[in-house]
Structure 1
Amino acid sequence: MQHIPILVIGGGIGGMTTALALARQGLDVHIVEQAPEFTEIGAGLQLAPNALRVLERLGVLPELAKHAVRPRNVVFLHADTGQHLTTIDLGEPFRQRYGHAYTVLHRSDLLNILLRACQDDARVTLESGRQMVEVHDRGDTAEVVFADGEVYRTSALVGADGLWSRTRALLSEDRPVSDHYVAYRGLLPMDQITIPVQLDDEIIWIGPGKHLVQYPISGGQNYNQVAVFHSRAFRPEIEFTEDWGTPAELDERFASSCDQVRSAVKLVNRDRRWVMYDREPLQNWTRGRITLLGDAAHPMVQYLAQGACQAIEDADCLARQLAEHPGDVPRALAAYQAERIPRTSRIQRVARDWGHVWHADEGVVPQLRDRVFTRRPNDDYTDLDWLYQPVAH
């Protein structure tokens, strides 16, 4: 049985950022990941100024800049009619207001940057291929049992083990919930793009029960597309099968879209679909010396593009609290969740509401949405301040 001062379960973006943030505070930290290697599944990732401030403090922005794309605008259009709804100017006014440019990149690029930074820091120990099977609160320590029978004891355990977190099961019997939306993601080399695209912009096509997001990544070498729709074929008895949200249903749901959207959706990869899950906000993330972080704590639907950003904010806050309360882990974890739960809970709820606004198909909501969108100035950021402005500690 090994004793580890701080143990992080999960080597994704949240876990890796946590390890790096703790090391930058002078704390030793050990990460275990169940996958054979530290990798990310998926394609594009959006980083808003609130996350970039943390990454700047961690010293990884220069490396990130080699892979990043900074869109000039976010442009909203109607998926069926092609009507322009609104544009968010991400240029100099945005950067002056929030201190950083909005950034998009490949998920694996960010994870690899964080991984290299952790590998270069002697305070971080990395282990992959370790499957956790049990977590126990032992009062003055936490205990993790692995599939091979080995046991780690730790003074502070961080469950960064994602949507289906085993660590969360200590705190809640809840389970992920789906509103029956699925996503198909595709990444194409730019020289294979056969549709008209705006390489300087992120494009979001919204419409009844569906949306399509497009933007360049990998320094502009690849084009990322995510097509999302509500499945009419869903039934509770087939929830965990591949019999709903199929590629055929993808084409059916986007058949009424404008020509440009239909052409783009044809290029989206059909090999895998992602079910859109979140969970109800928790009022407590902590038990003894165990706490949650990232999707384990607050999984959210993607309509505010804040999932990774909030995990990065969590990491920054947790490292700061553990450094400010040396030797008093319970007090540090209490301060961490007191600071983070109100913000992440609000974002979880607003993300759900924002999805309803995007996908509304009847009644007054789509009419009001389009009326409000088309009347807002491109540089009106008042509805973004609560997300992107620095949060007082």
Structure 2
Amino acid sequence: MTNDSASTNVLVVGGGMAGLAGALALKENGADVTLVEVAPAFGEVGAGLQMAPNASRVLKRWGLLEKALDVGVKPKHLVFRDAVTGEELTRQTLGGEFEERYGAPYVVIHRSDLHRILLEACQEAGVTLVNDVLVQKVETDGEKARAYTSKGNVYEADAVLAADGLKSTLRAGVANDGPVSSAYVAYRGTVPITPETPAADLEDVIVYLGPDCHLVQYPLRKGQLLNTVAVFKSASFERGEEQYGGVDELETAYAGCVPAVQEALKNLATGIRWPMYDRDPIESWVAGRMALIGDAAHPMLQYLAQGACQALEDAAVLQDATRGHVFTGAGIDPRGWEAAFSQYNKDRAARTARVQRTARIWGESWHVDGVARVLRNLLFKSRADNNFQYSDWLYGRNEPGVPAEVPAVAAKGSLVEA
């Protein structure tokens, strides 16, 4: 591309989960879509992620669920345990009634595998993919948006999707804010499952809850890998240090935990840690012909395992909104973007704000000690398997902003109301 403008119906800025999902959704509607990514190559870092039914329903809509199942795992249970005593607090069976109720399975998958599936789907659909492009600002001029890059190139489009993540540059067009530190950091690791790997829990998602810490384990890649995530409150991160020179903080955080938890720490890659941020919810994601999507719109803490899930929901809802206003039986109406973005924003902002706020409170409940820990454990233990009152609002098919592919379930409450 030269310094002259390049024209497209839709420009997507960012090649992560949200950007690829948004690009695929709009390409399926008939748009000419160009996606630009600042990195020199497409890829995803990290380890495993959990795809709850609200997200796997979206993959099912796009014909990608079987590909995810081919490389992922359908765990049998989600189990919570006390990290200090090892006692089981509650469990949810993830097959049978659960899967039937929500219309899709619970899947755990390596981040790079899901990213590859979405990337290949975009390639097959004909999305134009361009690397090494840094978009610094987007301006709306009448019925066009112009995206200006660091190299002096200009992309002109009917609409722009800003999918540039937690530290989004383009979010400044709708909000004057920044990432919020949680004081918690994560170490992650994946190791091969061998005959020497303890057989317990290799078919489940296990969450150990401890004072100021927790640990999650589950299998990946058809049971070939074991994924481990350790999250704890970090004094050095509170001082402003995103990385830290040793593992003494990690070891100290879990010193009071059961041997199974301390043994699992050996599975972690300790060369890099992941500081945990979110942002406060905002009501408007739209500036002229530009709309935010994914973490650029609603970055959230990981306690509900909904970051990628909510990005997929965004894309599906945007697909529906544009199908009604932009992509019609009479062809493409570029004047419909304002109405489509307005509908998308209306359908999504309240729901994702609820997920963001609930994730914060859910995390606080995981990390308590003393009397609060005793009460938390009693509450968890009072819940029976297949009691859906705490999950219908999140996984169900009748919430505003959730694509409804099949009959809805009756909502009965919320996880921890925010």
- Give the TM-score taking structure 1 as reference length: 0.95
For residue 374 of structure 2, the aligned residue among 361, 367, 371 is 367
The alpha-carbon deviation at position 30 of structure 1 amounts to 1.0
The alpha-carbon deviation at position 100 of structure 1 amounts to 1.5
1:60 aligns with 2:50: no
For residue 111 of structure 1, the aligned residue among 115, 123, 130 is 115
For residue 346 of structure 2, the aligned residue among 306, 314, 338 is 338
Q: Could you give the per-residue CA deviations for residues 199-254 of structure 1, whole angstroms, max 9, x where no partner exists?
A: 11110000100000000011111110000000133444xx155348x522011111
Q: Could you give the per-residue CA deviations for residues 285-332 of structure 1, whole angstroms, max 9, x where no partner exists?
A: 101011100000000000000100000000011122112102211111
| Structure 1 unaligned regions, length at least 5 | none
Give the match for residue 235 of structure 2: 232
The alpha-carbon deviation at position 366 of structure 1 amounts to 1.7
1:149 aligns with 2:157: no
Say if 1:210 and 1:253, in contact at 8 Å, map to a contact too.
yes
Question: 1:1-393, aligned counterparts within 5 Å?
Answer: 1-122=5-126, 124-191=127-194, 194-236=197-239, 239-243=240-244, 246-326=246-326, 327=333, 328-363=336-371, 365-391=372-398
Give the Cα separation in 1 of the matches to 2:242 and 2:68. 38
Opposite residue 206 of structure 2, the aligned amino acid is: I
Bigger mean CA deviation after superposition, 61-70 or 39-48: 61-70
The alpha-carbon deviation at position 135 of structure 1 amounts to 2.4
The alpha-carbon deviation at position 267 of structure 1 amounts to 2.2
Q: Could you give the per-residue CA deviations for residues 94-145 of structure 1, whole angstroms, max 9, x where no partner exists?
A: 11211122100101111111111111113x1111121222322334322111
SS of equivalent to 1:110: helix
| Superposition RMSD in Å | 1.5
Say if 1:105 and 1:219, in contact at 8 Å, map to a contact too.
no
Question: Against the structure 1 CA distance between its residues 134 and 227, is the aligned structure 2 distance closer, same or farther, given a 3 Å change threshold?
Answer: same
Give the Cα separation in 2 of the matches to 1:324 and 1:82. 52
Give the Cα separation in 1 of the matches to 2:140 and 2:186. 37
SS of equivalent to 2:71: coil
Say if 1:32 and 1:127, in contact at 8 Å, map to a contact too.
yes
Question: Against the structure 1 CA distance between its residues 40 and 192, is the aligned structure 2 distance closer, same or farther, given a 3 Å change threshold?
Answer: farther
Opposite residue 40 of structure 1, the aligned amino acid is: E
Bigger mean CA deviation after superposition, 169-178 or 337-346: 169-178
Count of residues paired in the alignment: 388
- Give the TM-score taking structure 2 as reference length: 0.90
Runs of 4+ in 1 over 4 A off after TM superposition: 192-196
The alpha-carbon deviation at position 266 of structure 1 amounts to 2.3
Question: Against the structure 1 CA distance between its residues 193 and 282, is the aligned structure 2 distance closer, same or farther, given a 3 Å change threshold?
Answer: farther
Bigger mean CA deviation after superposition, 302-311 or 166-175: 166-175
Say if 2:185 and 2:237, in contact at 8 Å, map to a contact too.
no
SS of equivalent to 2:219: strand
The alpha-carbon deviation at position 367 of structure 1 amounts to 1.9
| Identity of matched residues, % | 45
SS of equivalent to 2:393: helix
